[in-house]
Chains A and B, each alone.
Chain A
Amino acid sequence: MGEENWEKIETIIDRALELPESQRDTFITEQCKGNERLKSEVTLLLESIFDSEGWLDDPKDYKEEFYNDISDDVKELSSQHTLIGQKVGSYTIKEQIGKGGMGAVFLAQRSDDSFEHRVAIKIIREERATQTNIHRFEQEQRILAQLNHPAIAQLYDGGITADGFPYIIMEYVDGTPMDDHCRINKCSIDEIVSLFTQVLEAVRYAHENLVIHRDLKPDNILIDDSGNVKILDFGISKLLKDENGSTRPTEEARLLTPRYAAPEQIRQEPDKTSTDIYALGVVFYELLAGTGPFAFNDRSHYAIEQTILKKEPPQPSTQTADSTLRKKLEGDLDAIVLKAIRKDPEDRYRGVTEFLDDLYNYQHNLPVHARKGTTIYRLSKFFKRNKKGLAIAAGVILLLVSLTGFYTWRIAQERNHAQLQADRAEEITNFLVSILQLNNPSENVGKDITVSDALLHGIDYVEQQEMSAFNRATILGTIGSIQINTGDIEEAGITLEKGMAFVTDSLTEQSEKTIAIGTKYAEWHEDVGNTREAERYYNLTDSLFRAHQLTNTLTFYAHQLNYSDFLLENGQYEKALQVLAQSEQNLNNTAGKNPSLLDLQADLYNNRGRAYKNMGEHRKALDNLDKALTLKQEIYEENNPKIGRLYHNMGVVYATISDFGQAKKMAEQAYTIRVQTLGPEHQLVGSTLHLLGNIAFELEDYEQAFEYNKKSIEINKQKHGPEHFRYALAIREYAKTLSATGRFEEARKQIDQAISIIGDNYGKDHPYYGYMTKTYAEIFAEVEDYAQAMEYGQQTISNFKRNFGPQHPNLGKVFCNQAKYAMKSQKYRQVDSLFTAGLEILELHFDRDNPLIREADSLLTVFRANLP
């Protein structure tokens, strides 16, 4: 999302907020003038504004933890270890063995010492022990105490300590978390399955007694020295619910361990037995595959939640590089695990018994129920998303085209791997066939098959079938790009994410094609306005290219071009230069470049030029633009819009440094080329005319200026409409010329119109508004109304300071103008400091012989010499 776009969004939102709800939609549609992306961003933000009402209203919610922690620190300092040695019931506390937000866990021993009996005591911190909670707590605790199962850690007793803290006395278990146990003992798949069966039996027992665990995870499932399962903390979380039986949302969220949390827990829906089944599925997944279904490291809470809610987990077998293990997991175990962790609770095992049955089937080589549902489940999911009205034929042709490209590339790359090549060719053929099969009417009665469906079917195929990770990744990347083109933006994100997961997690070899998925994915994030993620993936992709030494490829340069475009859009000019440094170095060392490589190289130079221009390093900007131009001229005829663009850009830079002679030359070339190649009415022609008008004005060729101004106004009005900022900027140029030729009243009329358009669109804080007030000042100065001129000048100064920062050349120019007005109106006290301020800034950006600097310098010298 570019900043210009954002300002537009804000302006529309500001005004929409003031309208009655019924008029907002029409207003927004009108304002966005068919720009669908703008409209959807505006609508999304507006919805979000209403959805978020009340959110962040009470900062205390957020500061509470901070204050609590401080007060804990303070308390701890004053009363450390006071509980050790105290008696709780008939037990004496020996030592602290754990500590958490809600309190601490202690190892305690029976006081009479008649026999050695060790227990764990959990003491709950006082904040939670309200009167209403205590009743509930006791009731729940009685229910839990009745759970008697060898694989469930026994809850013995509970109560309130003498000082009023609730406590629970539990069986002390000396054991190892299940995942560590399996790792340490290198358990085989069969051993894991039978151990896990024990866990399921214990959970089934609890469920039959109407107790849900709600927080199952390996840390809560211990294996003791004799190899027996012991599940801790059964139902404990429910103890902490308040009177009406439901925890408050904030608490609810606190009780979750996201890794094992089911989608319905994220959505804060009531827990059912299916919630435990989900957690068990994840635990089982981890035990089998050695890693969980999703990688959560360093991801934001939001991203984790979205993953749990939306992302389909890969099959466990795809997570391992060990081929024996993979073979073992493929089929039954894959299906069983995935059935347990379906997003919709209805789609999971209906109870632990069913889960156990399927494991029994697996152990005894009987057909596993979970497998039956798989294909239908997935297909039906994809069909649910069927939206687009594109014909299947179009989709298949599109796919064929893109896949053929990648297929021939394969052949070229893999010449030495004939067998591999044959395998892959077959995989891709099968893939294409699978897509075409969707067109079989018997399979899809009464449905319009769309390209979107075909793509989703393709994804399904890729996920289901035996296929190399390399091909999977490449096909997913291709499908994701096509989905962007077909407008299936949301799906494209999911597909690219999957493709990207292969690239980062599974592939040992990479190609340009696979790494380029990262660029696509970053672009996707950029398109949906997710700047942070976009940057992350651009960055990641950049390093992948480097790590695999693929920085000397077309794809890498194309990536760099996109990445630097992104950075320039986001105002990160220096970073853009850093990024571009790599390709520049490589390209300089590359001999025998083909035209497409040269073209990219020129675009990279152009981006460097843009970066330098924005940083105020105009010489370097020109240098780079010139290099870009030379290269483009090697590939294209002079009469090409790509060359026109570079002339135009150079014209802008020359005008910025007041070299209007050069600026004119460049802009005229750009104009000729653009008119010839794009036609005289094109908006880019309008933009060059605007530039030409400005140059003619500065060169005091007002007749020419008028001509350019008028044409530019015409085109801008026609192309962008009479309320567009470009139109306003064009009439401002016209107002300047009018004023310079003594037509004050007309100039006023034009600038009044321009400022009202800008004001309506962006408000007074926008830099364009500053340009307008600057022109006002100039117009008033022209008729020697210096008081007015200085007032507008002052407004401009504060606007520019805010928008461009205190050192921008624009600000320097305004300071110098202001100094001139002060001099003319005999406000001598201000003159010196205004000139000095202006010069200080200008000297940062321009050479000493810049006309602006020369003029200001000499005026200042004269002024000082004439002081009394």
Chain B
Amino acid sequence: MEQSEVTQLLIRLKKGENGIYDQLYPLIYEEMKKLAYVQMSKQSPDHTLSKTELVHETYLKMIDQTQLDFKDKSHFLAISSRCMRQILIDYARKKNAKKRGGKKKDLTFIDELFEGQDKKAQELIDIDAALNELEKLNERLTKVVEMRFFGEMTIQETAEALDVSESTVKRDWMKARGWLYKELKGQFEVK
């Protein structure tokens, strides 16, 4: 897909044309996954955690910036954030499934110690499920988490994409984080 075509799709989306979101979403999703692999193979092992920030990378890759303004950018980033969430959850699920699939071996060494390593994967799945619940209470809170957390969008970009004030984004983020925390972590009171 050409850069200009994606850009055009985004412009049509902005105009409110139907069905565009459904066209854009899979394009961005696939591109992001591809980019992740490309990025990682380029990095030296020590830099696996460098500034790779897929959502914005994808934007640079897919969009002709001369044709779009800041507001359009935030709309693109919003879709990418959703893709990012999807990608991470797909990955986390796959990882968990793999773990469950591999039944016990006769011999186990300390590798087994590290079974707990997919704790983050599990946590992501839990967060995702909780977000679906939160969406029923207030969809915007879920969107804010998607953009700020999965998409690593700035407060300004998020406010722009949602068409609300920055202070609303900040408050929404606090409420969403508090709620998720309450759902997922609870209080560790033991007596």
Q: Which residues of A contact B (CB under 8 A)?
A: 1, 3, 6-7, 10, 13-14, 17, 44-46, 48-52, 55-56, 59-71, 73-75, 97-105, 120, 122, 126-127, 170, 173-177, 180, 215, 217, 219-220, 222, 232-233, 236-237, 250, 253-258, 263, 266-267, 300-302, 305-306, 309-310, 343, 381, 384-385, 530-532, 570-571, 765
Structural contact, B91 and A384, CB atoms closer than 8 A: no
Contact among A56, A232, A305, A384 for B109, CB-based, below 8 A = A232
Structural contact, A302 and B175, CB atoms closer than 8 A: no
Structural contact, A71 and B48, CB atoms closer than 8 A: yes
Structural contact, B104 and A177, CB atoms closer than 8 A: yes
**B159 at the binding interface (Cβ < 8 Å):** no
A301 (CB) vs chain B CBs: closest residue: B122
Structural contact, A254 and B178, CB atoms closer than 8 A: no
**25 contacts across the A-B interface (CB closer than 8 A):** A1-B137, A7-B138, A14-B175, A49-B175, A51-B181, A52-B185, A61-B120, A64-B49, A73-B37, A98-B111, A100-B117, A102-B111, A232-B110, A233-B109, A236-B113, A250-B119, A257-B112, A263-B190, A267-B190, A301-B119, A301-B123, A343-B190, A384-B191, A385-B191, A570-B136
Task: Annotate B116-150 by CB proximity to A: 1 below 8 A, 0 otherwise.
Answer: 11111111101001100100111010000100011
State A49–B185 Cα separation when bound (angstroms).
Answer: 12
Structural contact, A71 and B43, CB atoms closer than 8 A: yes
Structural contact, A60 and B107, CB atoms closer than 8 A: no
- Report B150-167 residues with CB < 8 Å from chain A CB: 150, 152
B117 (CB) vs chain A CBs: closest residue: A101
Residues of B within 8 A of A100 (CB): 110-115, 117
Structural contact, A531 and B120, CB atoms closer than 8 A: no
Structural contact, B49 and A60, CB atoms closer than 8 A: yes
Shortest CB distance A764–B (Å): 10
Shortest CB distance B106–A (Å): 6
Query: Residue among A52, A127, A215 with the most chain B CB within 10 A?
Result: A52
Query: Residue among A101, A267, A305 with the most chain B CB within 10 A?
Result: A101
State A300–B129 Cα separation when bound (angstroms).
Answer: 10
Shortest CB distance B159–A (Å): 14
Residues of A within 8 A of B60 (CB): none
**B52 at the binding interface (Cβ < 8 Å):** yes
Residues of B within 8 A of A64 (CB): 49, 120
Q: Given the known inter-chain contacts A62-B120, A98-B108, A174-B107, please indicate yes or no for A56 contacting B177, CB distance below 8 A.
A: yes
Shortest CB distance A281–B (Å): 17
Q: Given the known inter-chain contacts A71-B40, A219-B104, A233-B110, please indicate yes or no for A49 contacting B119, CB distance below 8 A.
A: no
Residues of A within 8 A of B129 (CB): 300, 532
Q: Given the known inter-chain contacts A65-B118, A71-B43, A100-B111, please indicate yes or no for A49 contacting B104, CB distance below 8 A.
A: no
Structural contact, B114 and A68, CB atoms closer than 8 A: no
Shortest CB distance A803–B (Å): 10
**B45 at the binding interface (Cβ < 8 Å):** yes
Residues of A within 8 A of B27 (CB): none
**B174 at the binding interface (Cβ < 8 Å):** yes
**B67 at the binding interface (Cβ < 8 Å):** no
A385 (CB) vs chain B CBs: closest residue: B191
Query: Residue among B107, B129, B185 with the most chain A CB within 10 A?
Result: B107
Residues of A within 8 A of B136 (CB): 3, 531, 570-571
State A738–B49 Cα separation when bound (angstroms).
Answer: 66
Residues of B within 8 A of A50 (CB): 178
State A60–B55 Cα separation when bound (angstroms).
Answer: 13
Residues of B within 8 A of A71 (CB): 40-41, 43, 45, 48
Number of A-B residue pairs, CB cutoff 8 Å, is 203
Shortest CB distance B175–A (Å): 6
**B186 at the binding interface (Cβ < 8 Å):** yes
B139 (CB) vs chain A CBs: closest residue: A802
State A570–B150 Cα separation when bound (angstroms).
Answer: 26
User: Which 6 A-B pairs rank lowest in CB-CB distance, beginning with the nearest?
Assistant: A100-B111, A49-B178, A52-B181, A101-B114, A101-B117, A48-B182
Shortest CB distance A347–B (Å): 12
Shortest CB distance A530–B (Å): 8
Residues of B within 8 A of A13 (CB): 175
Residues of A within 8 A of B124 (CB): 62
Structural contact, B109 and A120, CB atoms closer than 8 A: yes
**B15 at the binding interface (Cβ < 8 Å):** no
Residues of A within 8 A of B92 (CB): 66
**B88 at the binding interface (Cβ < 8 Å):** yes
Shortest CB distance B161–A (Å): 14
Structural contact, B117 and A62, CB atoms closer than 8 A: no
Contact among B36, B106, B188 for A309, CB-based, below 8 A = B188
Q: Is the interface of A mostly helix, strand, loop or mixed?
A: helix
Shortest CB distance B77–A (Å): 14
State A309–B189 Cα separation when bound (angstroms).
Answer: 8
State A45–B181 Cα separation when bound (angstroms).
Answer: 9
**B20 at the binding interface (Cβ < 8 Å):** no
State A503–B9 Cα separation when bound (angstroms).
Answer: 55
A531 (CB) vs chain B CBs: closest residue: B133
Residues of B within 8 A of A1 (CB): 137
Shortest CB distance A3–B (Å): 6
State A233–B121 Cα separation when bound (angstroms).
Answer: 25
Residues of A within 8 A of B188 (CB): 266-267, 305, 309
Residues of A within 8 A of B105 (CB): 98
Structural contact, A254 and B116, CB atoms closer than 8 A: yes
Q: Given the known inter-chain contacts A3-B136, A74-B40, A180-B104, please indicate yes or no for A45 contacting B182, CB distance below 8 A.
A: yes
Shortest CB distance A66–B (Å): 5
State A309–B191 Cα separation when bound (angstroms).
Answer: 9
State A300–B41 Cα separation when bound (angstroms).
Answer: 33
Residues of A within 8 A of B36 (CB): 66-67, 70
Structural contact, B174 and A49, CB atoms closer than 8 A: yes
Q: A254-B119, A301-B119 known; 13 other A-B pairs, CB under 8 Å?
A: A3-B137, A45-B178, A48-B178, A49-B178, A66-B91, A70-B40, A73-B37, A98-B108, A122-B109, A175-B106, A176-B106, A302-B183, A532-B129
Shortest CB distance A648–B (Å): 27
Q: Given the known inter-chain contacts A14-B171, A48-B182, please indicate yes or no for A253 contacting B113, CB distance below 8 A.
A: no
State A99–B106 Cα separation when bound (angstroms).
Answer: 14
State A250–B116 Cα separation when bound (angstroms).
Answer: 10
Structural contact, A255 and B152, CB atoms closer than 8 A: no
A215 (CB) vs chain B CBs: closest residue: B113
Query: Residue among B117, B133, B178 with the most chain A CB within 10 A?
Result: B178
Structural contact, A98 and B109, CB atoms closer than 8 A: yes
Structural contact, B113 and A237, CB atoms closer than 8 A: yes
State A571–B182 Cα separation when bound (angstroms).
Answer: 22
**B169 at the binding interface (Cβ < 8 Å):** no
Shortest CB distance B130–A (Å): 8
Residues of B within 8 A of A55 (CB): 177, 181
Structural contact, B45 and A127, CB atoms closer than 8 A: yes
Shortest CB distance B125–A (Å): 8
State A73–B39 Cα separation when bound (angstroms).
Answer: 13
**B61 at the binding interface (Cβ < 8 Å):** no
Residues of A within 8 A of B59 (CB): none
**B95 at the binding interface (Cβ < 8 Å):** yes
Residues of B within 8 A of A120 (CB): 109
**B79 at the binding interface (Cβ < 8 Å):** no
Structural contact, B126 and A99, CB atoms closer than 8 A: no
Shortest CB distance A340–B (Å): 18
State A343–B190 Cα separation when bound (angstroms).
Answer: 9
Task: Annotate B65-97 by CB proximity to A: 1 below 8 A, 0 otherwise.
Answer: 000000000000000000000011001100100
Query: Residue among A63, A237, A381 with the most chain B CB within 10 A?
Result: A63
State A67–B84 Cα separation when bound (angstroms).
Answer: 13
Structural contact, B114 and A10, CB atoms closer than 8 A: no
Shortest CB distance A799–B (Å): 12
B33 (CB) vs chain A CBs: closest residue: A70
State A51–B177 Cα separation when bound (angstroms).
Answer: 10
- Report B46-64 residues with CB < 8 Å from chain A CB: 48-49, 52
Residues of B within 8 A of A45 (CB): 175, 178-179, 182
